Amino acid sequence: MIFSSRMIDQWAEYSGDRNPVHFDRELATSMGYPREFCHGWLALLFVKSEVTTRLAASLNEDIAVDFRFRSPVYVREDVSCEMDKNETRYDIDLVNASRQKLVTGVLTPKPFNNAIDGAHRLHGLGRADRSLPDFGFPVVPWVEAEAYAFQQMLQKYPGKERIGVADDIFAEHLKDSRERWVLLHTRHESDVSLGLLQLTRFDGSMVRESVCEWSNPIPVPSGYYCSITLRLSLYTQGGLVSRIHLLMKRIN
């Protein structure tokens, strides 16, 4: 799989995620990267769909997947998804042509729990108003539902016109809110009910409730750490919980 500039543009148009590090080579290089890189969400659309398609016959219970971003997936980089079974879990790697692990993950059985526990919440998120683009690979229904929840959240996010640059939602916690901060995707966890896994299709009319929660930023040596949780409940097919872990880094 090669993530093209067009795919980056398509995801940005769908989601509203216009984080400048995905488009601005000068900014990316100023932060120590050789060039602009793919959205973490977009890379995981491919990985999650690839894995669950391969495992379709054996997924017969609720699952949890936990992915860590080890290195950026650069635009026009050739990558592939590898998977290895280890007792009751599957180890998952997204690797490039040099065999470097860009994303590592684990899929395990886990009873689904959708209890709300966030520090701050946005209830009744707006309906997503765009269809998921055709990226050239099949996207399984639960992954499409997760992308739908993300688009819903950005419809209501206070800084949605320049998502990726931390602003209103975090400004009260920063020492100087006039500084510019970029949000970098570092980890992504998803809990998925069996009912959602077994869907043959997904559309927004199936959604009963959607909630977004976020944590207060915590100072770390390289900036601030925070997390956002998306919760999606369907009328008849369970739901999902998606936890997005972010590092906020100052733009020089």
47 φ, ψ to 5°? -65, -50
The whole-angstrom separation of Cα 222 and Cα 249 is 7
**Are the CB atoms for 16 and 163 separated by under 8 Å?**
yes
Write down the pLDDT at residue 160: 41
3-state helix, strand, coil in the chain (%, to 5): 25, 35, 40
Write down the pLDDT at residue 15: 84
Q: What is the DSSP letter of 37?
A: B
Asked if the model's pLDDT at residue 125 lies above 70, the reply is no
pLDDT, tens digit (0-9, with 9 covering 90-100), for 90-104: 999 999 999 999 999
Place 243 in a pLDDT band, splitting at 50, 70 and 90. Answer: very high
What token pair was written down for 121? 């919440």
Long-range contacts of 47-50 (CB under 8 A, 24+ apart): 47/81, 47/92, 47/94, 47/103, 47/105, 48/140, 48/143, 48/146, 48/190, 49/137, 49/138, 49/139, 49/140, 49/143, 50/81, 50/137
Which of the two residues, 187 and 176, has the higher pLDDT score?
187
Identity at 109, one-letter amino acid code: P
pLDDT cut 70: percent of the chain above it: 83
pLDDT cut 90: percent of the chain above it: 49
Least confidently predicted of 1-15, 18-32, 152-166: 152-166
Half-sphere exposure of 198 toward its Cβ, with a 13 Å CA cutoff?
11
Sign of CA dihedral 148, 140, 61, 104: negative
Asked if the model's pLDDT at residue 216 lies above 60, the reply is yes
Least confidently predicted of 148-152, 162-166, 217-221: 162-166
Mean pLDDT of the chain: 84
Least confidently predicted of 113-127, 130-144, 178-192, 193-207: 113-127
Supply the pTM of this predicted model: 0.88
Which of the two residues, 221 and 154, has the higher pLDDT score?
221
Nearest one of 43, 200, 242, 249 to 135, comparing CA atoms: 43
Write down the pLDDT at residue 178: 53
Asked if the model's pLDDT at residue 81 lies above 90, the reply is yes
**Are the CB atoms for 123 and 234 separated by under 8 Å?**
no
pLDDT, tens digit (0-9, with 9 covering 90-100), for 15-72: 888 888 898 898 888 888 899 999 999 999 999 999 999 998 888 999 999 999 999 9
End-to-end CA distance of the chain: 32
Least confidently predicted of 4-8, 20-24, 113-117, 216-220: 113-117
